[in-house]
Structure 1
Amino acid sequence: MTELLLKYFRTKQQKVESEKLFDTQCPFCSMQCKMTLVEQSIVSRKKYLTLGKENPTSEGRLCIKGMNAHQHTVNKERLKYPMLKVNGEFVRISWEEALQQIKENFTRIQEKDGQNALAVYGSASITNEEAYLLGKFARVALKTKNIDYNGRLCMSAAATAANQTFGMDRGFTNSLSEIPFTRCIILAGTNIAECQPTMMPYFEKAKENGAYIIAIDPRETATTKMADLHLKLKPGTDAALANGLLKVMIEENYMDKVFIKERATGYEKVKDHVMSLNLDDIEEITGVPCKQIRKAAILFGREESGMIFTARGVEQQTDGVLAVRNYLNILVSTGKIGKPHSGYAAITGQGNGQGAREHGQKADQLPGYRSIENEDHRAYIARVWGINKDELPGKGVSAYEMMEKIDEGEITGLFLMCSNPIVSNPNAEFVQKALKKLKFFVAVDLFVSETARLADLILPTSSYLEDEGTMTNVEGRVTLREASYPCPGEVKHDWQILCEIAKVLGQGEYFSFSSAEEIFTELRMASRGGMADYYGITYERIRKEGGILWPCPDSDHKGTKRLFETSFAHEHGKAAMVVVQNEPVIQKDQVNDEFPLYLTTGRVMSHYLTGVQTRKSSALAARNVEAFMEIHPTTARRYHISDQSLVKIESRRGSIVVRSKWSETIRQDTVFVPFHWADSQNVNLLVSNELDPDCRMPGFKVSAVRVSPVMDFHK
């Protein structure tokens, strides 16, 4: 009898409960952690569990975002059908109707306003295949020069600096596995503990092995707490601080003279410049005491190995390129590059921030990190695509400049893929007003984002669980994101959407792909011989090897773990050092009596970018339900602001209202607001439209503001 009952209950349980496993990788930060989603069906509901999966980069670790990433995928607000705006309201239409709308409107716009009146705005969160295809779509299907992407607001300064100094940009010049064995580490403007938490164990291992860590940040963060020395500089003064560090290193004779002679240009001019500077002046500019500058310089200079890491704190400035180049001056002059446990690392922000900029989304680039203005590069890509090189459009404008062209009426139609420029761009109120001027606006997204609200047509796209493809992570490792979760409703993949639009526009012969792997095969050929050479990488190899570091020029190549061991990527084989002034050419927002405080921005651990996905996750949203302003208590009292009270922040561009958060660990002349929230809490409403002259990066990290209380619940 007992055996029969057990059999009955076991059979009943099997009928009402099933379990499915879905291998994937996290859709958020650039670590791209591998994981498995376990979906359990219990009676009429589903339960989910996320497990970390062993891999070369994060070694099976997950953070709070990765563990809850599935929540936005199964959120009830997911877009499932094409939606057309009719009389101000979105109504469901068929894909056939949606494609016809695009054909009619895009054709009308280009016939009346010109070929370049259509623009494409992409994303650094889409796969390599989709980034590649989007660039091809703009230039072949639409024949427009105007394409750029949200990575312009994230990694462009570091990429430009690396290209100018080394002749090549791969984010990391070394692999993550070298970090634990370096002797001294500089973390400049990066909060790894909150932005890339699964990377932290590499630094913890380095400390266990005796490494000395120097953190440079206006705030005390979970990352600076790990450091042995924290240089709490004024926002926007990294270039001057690097000059001070370099001056001390030269004075103390820590230069690698043999390395400089054999492998660098421009050193003598840099030396003459920094030696003419006064360290007391640099203390005045940066707010960092001379004693600390000297200590940091000596500690880094005297060690046999060292690494410098930069992120948005340094890069999102109007002199971001030069600030990064000055840190690279330090590496080159001390010979700490191209050697074991020594090198540079730009901490990529977005999930595919590296790969998305390598294959054609940027206004000035073609696949393989080729230049759109180089005739040989144009000819090669034209052959791969089967078109005449004269048919390829020229260089377009950067992401924010695209908004200016829309405002001026030069761009009248926009195709937006998986980005939210109203929240992510500077001078956000202007961006919103500009987008409202478009004659026809198509948005591709998972949800009706703040920007998608303004669209005429929204197309539903697949999530990370549903969309297979390669991604290139923080260390330049090309990984394969498996995806077998079923798409809801009539959702399509980004690449499918592009192929179908190209077909109705009469360009289907160039977009006859039936899988992501087919697109990758063409991408491999397009990248062959380029700086970012993926030719030797295949889906089969990635599955077998767990990811491959590019460049990988052929199938026998194991991938490149360390760059610049024998030469740099310039034609002359040397690194190019450059003189960097203490003060930027483009003046940053100036504090004065009217706007007396510096505002800087950044992330919190539980959210990602503009929050479109993470704010749809109940577990993540609950951890940070609203934006906040971090302010020193002394400063708060000066402006009559209580802790946890509503405060108005005003700049020369606009104002927002957020809740105050007292912190003893931030500079007294600085306030901090995260950038994951929209509408009245969108911190980018306060940010200037001034751009770095080299990479067109906005100066997100430095804005002059004033603060005042709105409401005090403690009274």
Structure 2
Amino acid sequence: MNAAPSRTVRTTCPYCAVQCNFDLHLEGGLPVRATPTRECPVAHGTVCKKGLAALNDLRHPDRLTTPLLRRDGQLVPVGWPEALAYVRDALGPLVQSAPQRVGVFGSGSLTNEKTYLLGKFARVALRTPHIDYNGRYCMASASAALNRTFGLDRGLGFPLDDLPRSDLIVLVGANIAETLPPVMQYLKAARDRGGAVYAIDPRVTPTVKVAGRHLAPRPGTDGVLALGLLHLMKQWGKIRPTAPAHGLSDVLWHADDYPPARVAHECGVPESELIALARAYADARTPLILTGRGPEQHTHGTDTVQAWINLAFLTGHVGKQGGGFGTLTGQGNGQGGREHGQKNDQLPGARSLRDPRHRAQMAAHWNVPEHHLPQPGHSAQELLNACGESGEGGLDALIVLGSNPVVSAAGAGQVTENLRALKHLIVIDFLPSETAQLATLVLPGSMWCEEEGTTTNLEGRVQRRRRAMTAPGAAREDWRILCDLAHAVGRPHGFTYPTFRDLQNDFFLATRGAKADSGSRGGRVVQPGAAGALAA
């Protein structure tokens, strides 16, 4: 038998939300190297070390290639018929009698199509209200603030190519030199054109060193800093929103309580440095505020991000080319992952599960009675806290796809104990993660280059992921596994796709006409609206 010929497949990096393109070179059917392409519209020929090392896991010696079922305390290899028989016997009765006792936990690394299918699987096949994903720990605060202000969760409402047009970039809690390395070229381009870059971070990170200007507030005081800057903008006559701002007087009244002396004291920064930043922002023509996970991951993360949005909006910079506000998505498909139905309160296309009109639209598309669609259930941490609980709201079973909550969730020790207490923990993964090692059933899934699909990067740009190779052994593509599970629990309706293209067409139709529309030709990116709903 002749070996497979050498070939090259252009695809998309699986790591961060920049979603660089590169060429994957295969020999004998196996990838041997990845090379950047200058035709990439985002990174323009650069790929960071993580992207270039993406091939390493493809050769990982622990790659899962067969289902594993727990027997006598040990995970042992079994065939697919036996694995699916376990699902039938374990979940089938629960789905029929108590679907609210089953949960689903997804990931911001899934393709748009898998995100869609996972949400559909939870609500149509399982009929459970309890589905959420690890992105709840990532951008949920920023998402809520963006929705509250603009009515849309879009991390960046502009392309990265706009960044060099900014004459002041303020990075708040974002260490992009290590988390989104290809974006650094845009910061450097802004500096080369005479722009200034301020990094607001308690630590001296590699990004701080490149930025050149640094303000180091105490952890947890980012919101106070934003209010202090807004206080000075009001004092200096810089409040000039270009669109109606609901709640304007309340916001400005609240900012009155944050004069420079108080802000400097609470943030632990010299008052002179605070005023220098405020003056730079006030004098800039196109200042741009970019937030990262730093200001979001606090008890009042939504209000903190809201305060930075208010600063940009009320000074009239939102909507300017090179200016305004943006929040930097982190995970590979963090943007698409929170648009197409795996959030506990969301339906495909960024529709709301609480909206009767949206519920009716999706019920009609899925050909199910509207009352079969559950209302929103547990969010991510609530879902993990409910695992193994016997009372109302507790879970007996959990299905995990593409996530490792034992490592990534808050309170990892307690999460581990909760997962151990489950009657059934089904994990779909390609490596034996810490969560998979606790499972009662592990199903071998697909890696990034073993599947087709699309991802949505931090700009809202939808890009194609091409299949370059087949999954090894008995491993299956994740979308096929979800369909297998739907059949196993006795709910095959809507989960019989002859090919991936049929699934993708279903996804396109499901999002057509919605805020996050992938169904119209070329897709549709909705920009932030003209009015802002501010919160004090």
Q: Distance in 1 between matches of 2:308 and 2:259?
A: 18
- 2:141·2:302 contact (CA, 8 Å) conserved in 1? yes
Q: What amino acid sits opposite 1:527 in the alignment?
A: T
* Identity percentage of aligned residues: 38
Q: Secondary structure at the match of 1:465?
A: helix
Q: Distance in 2 between matches of 1:464 and 1:202?
A: 27
Q: What's the counterpart of residue 211 of structure 2?
A: 227
Q: 2:417 aligns with which of 413, 433, 445?
A: 433
Q: What's the counterpart of residue 421 of structure 1?
A: 405
Q: What's the counterpart of residue 170 of structure 1?
A: 154
Q: What's the counterpart of residue 69 of structure 1?
A: 54
- 1:24·1:464 contact (CA, 8 Å) conserved in 2? no
- 2:92·2:488 contact (CA, 8 Å) conserved in 1? no
Q: Secondary structure at the match of 2:6?
A: strand
- 2:67·2:443 contact (CA, 8 Å) conserved in 1? yes
Q: Secondary structure at the match of 1:414?
A: strand
- 1:354·1:476 contact (CA, 8 Å) conserved in 2? yes
Please state how far the C-alpha of 1:21 moved relative to its aligned partner.
Answer: 2.1
Residues 393-425 of structure 1: CA distance to partner in whole angstroms, max 9, x if unpaired?
Answer: 111111111122114221000111010001111
Q: 2:363 aligns with which of 382, 389, 392?
A: 382
Q: Normalized against structure 2, the TM-score is what?
A: 0.96
Q: What's the counterpart of residue 575 of structure 1?
A: 532
Q: 2:36 aligns with which of 30, 36, 52?
A: 52
Q: What's the counterpart of residue 205 of structure 1?
A: 189
Q: 1:369 aligns with which of 334, 346, 350?
A: 350
Please state how far the C-alpha of 1:17 moved relative to its aligned partner.
Answer: 10
Q: What amino acid sits opposite 2:534 in the alignment?
A: M
Q: What's the counterpart of residue 634 of structure 1?
A: none
Q: Distance in 2 between matches of 1:312 and 1:273?
A: 24
Please state how far the C-alpha of 1:22 moved relative to its aligned partner.
Answer: 2.9
- 2:33·2:55 contact (CA, 8 Å) conserved in 1? no
Q: What's the counterpart of residue 34 of structure 1?
A: 21
Q: What's the counterpart of residue 610 of structure 1?
A: none
Alignment of 1:589-628 (within 5 A): none
Please state how far the C-alpha of 1:110 moved relative to its aligned partner.
Answer: 4.0
Q: What's the counterpart of residue 623 of structure 1?
A: none
Specify whether residues 354 and 229 from structure 1 end up closer, same or farther in structure 2 by C-alpha distance, changes over 3 A only: same
1:300 and 2:281 equivalent?
yes
Q: 2:66 aligns with which of 51, 60, 81?
A: 81
Q: What's the counterpart of residue 275 of structure 1?
A: 256
Q: Distance in 2 between matches of 1:380 and 1:40?
A: 47
Please state how far the C-alpha of 1:465 moved relative to its aligned partner.
Answer: 1.0
Bigger RCO (CA 8 Å, 6+ sep): 2
Residues 69-112 of structure 1: CA distance to partner in whole angstroms, max 9, x if unpaired?
Answer: 01101212100011111112221111111111101100233456
1:92 and 2:49 equivalent?
no
Number of corresponding residues: 531
Q: Secondary structure at the match of 1:521?
A: helix
Please state how far the C-alpha of 1:173 moved relative to its aligned partner.
Answer: 1.2
- 1:129·1:516 contact (CA, 8 Å) conserved in 2? no
Specify whether residues 17 and 116 from structure 1 end up closer, same or farther in structure 2 by C-alpha distance, changes over 3 A only: closer
Q: Which structure has the bigger radius of gyration?
A: 1
Q: What amino acid sits opposite 2:365 in the alignment?
A: V
- 1:22·1:485 contact (CA, 8 Å) conserved in 2? no
Q: Distance in 2 between matches of 1:74 and 1:460?
A: 15
Q: What amino acid sits opposite 2:248 in the alignment?
A: Y
- 1:174·1:344 contact (CA, 8 Å) conserved in 2? no
Q: Secondary structure at the match of 2:450?
A: coil
Q: What amino acid sits opposite 2:452 in the alignment?
A: E
Q: What's the counterpart of residue 647 of structure 1?
A: none
Q: What's the counterpart of residue 113 of structure 2?
A: 129
Q: What amino acid sits opposite 2:263 in the alignment?
A: I
Q: Secondary structure at the match of 1:510?
A: coil
Specify whether residues 332 and 22 from structure 1 end up closer, same or farther in structure 2 by C-alpha distance, changes over 3 A only: same
Q: 1:316 aligns with which of 268, 274, 297?
A: 297
- 1:121·1:415 contact (CA, 8 Å) conserved in 2? yes
- 1:158·1:324 contact (CA, 8 Å) conserved in 2? yes
Specify whether residues 255 and 94 from structure 1 end up closer, same or farther in structure 2 by C-alpha distance, changes over 3 A only: same
Residues 223-250 of structure 1: CA distance to partner in whole angstroms, max 9, x if unpaired?
Answer: 1112242111111111101111111111
Please state how far the C-alpha of 1:60 moved relative to its aligned partner.
Answer: 2.0
Q: Distance in 2 between matches of 1:30 and 1:517?
A: 24
- 1:138·1:144 contact (CA, 8 Å) conserved in 2? yes
Please state how far the C-alpha of 1:381 moved relative to its aligned partner.
Answer: 0.6
Q: What's the counterpart of residue 491 of structure 2?
A: 507
Please state how far the C-alpha of 1:23 moved relative to its aligned partner.
Answer: 2.4
Please state how far the C-alpha of 1:276 moved relative to its aligned partner.
Answer: 2.8
Q: What amino acid sits opposite 1:196 in the alignment?
A: L
Q: What amino acid sits opposite 1:577 in the alignment?
A: L
Q: What amino acid sits opposite 1:575 in the alignment?
A: G
1:452 and 2:436 equivalent?
yes
Q: 1:140 aligns with which of 99, 114, 124?
A: 124
Which stretch shows the higher mean deviation, 318-327 or 501-510? Answer: 501-510
Q: What's the counterpart of residue 338 of structure 2?
A: 357
Q: 2:12 aligns with which of 25, 43, 49?
A: 25
Specify whether residues 278 and 380 from structure 1 end up closer, same or farther in structure 2 by C-alpha distance, changes over 3 A only: same
Please state how far the C-alpha of 1:47 moved relative to its aligned partner.
Answer: 7.5
Q: Secondary structure at the match of 1:273?
A: helix
Q: What's the counterpart of residue 602 of structure 1?
A: none
Q: Distance in 2 between matches of 1:350 and 1:47?
A: 24
Q: Secondary structure at the match of 2:516?
A: coil
Q: Secondary structure at the match of 1:308?
A: strand
Q: What's the counterpart of residue 176 of structure 2?
A: 192
Q: Distance in 2 between matches of 1:51 and 1:520?
A: 28
Q: Normalized against structure 1, the TM-score is what?
A: 0.72
Q: Mind listing any 5+ residue stretches in structure 2 that lack a counterpart?
A: none
Q: What amino acid sits opposite 1:141 in the alignment?
A: A
Which stretch shows the higher mean deviation, 272-281 or 60-69? Answer: 272-281
Q: What's the counterpart of residue 585 of structure 1?
A: none
Q: Mind listing any 5+ residue stretches in structure 1 that lack a counterpart?
A: 1-14, 542-547, 552-559, 569-573, 580-715
Please state how far the C-alpha of 1:20 moved relative to its aligned partner.
Answer: 3.1
Q: Distance in 2 between matches of 1:168 and 1:290?
A: 36
Q: Secondary structure at the match of 1:332?
A: helix
Specify whether residues 426 and 348 from structure 1 end up closer, same or farther in structure 2 by C-alpha distance, changes over 3 A only: same
Q: What's the counterpart of residue 596 of structure 1?
A: none
Please state how far the C-alpha of 1:18 moved relative to its aligned partner.
Answer: 5.8
Q: Distance in 1 between matches of 2:388 and 2:5?
A: 54
Q: Distance in 1 between matches of 2:247 and 2:270?
A: 29
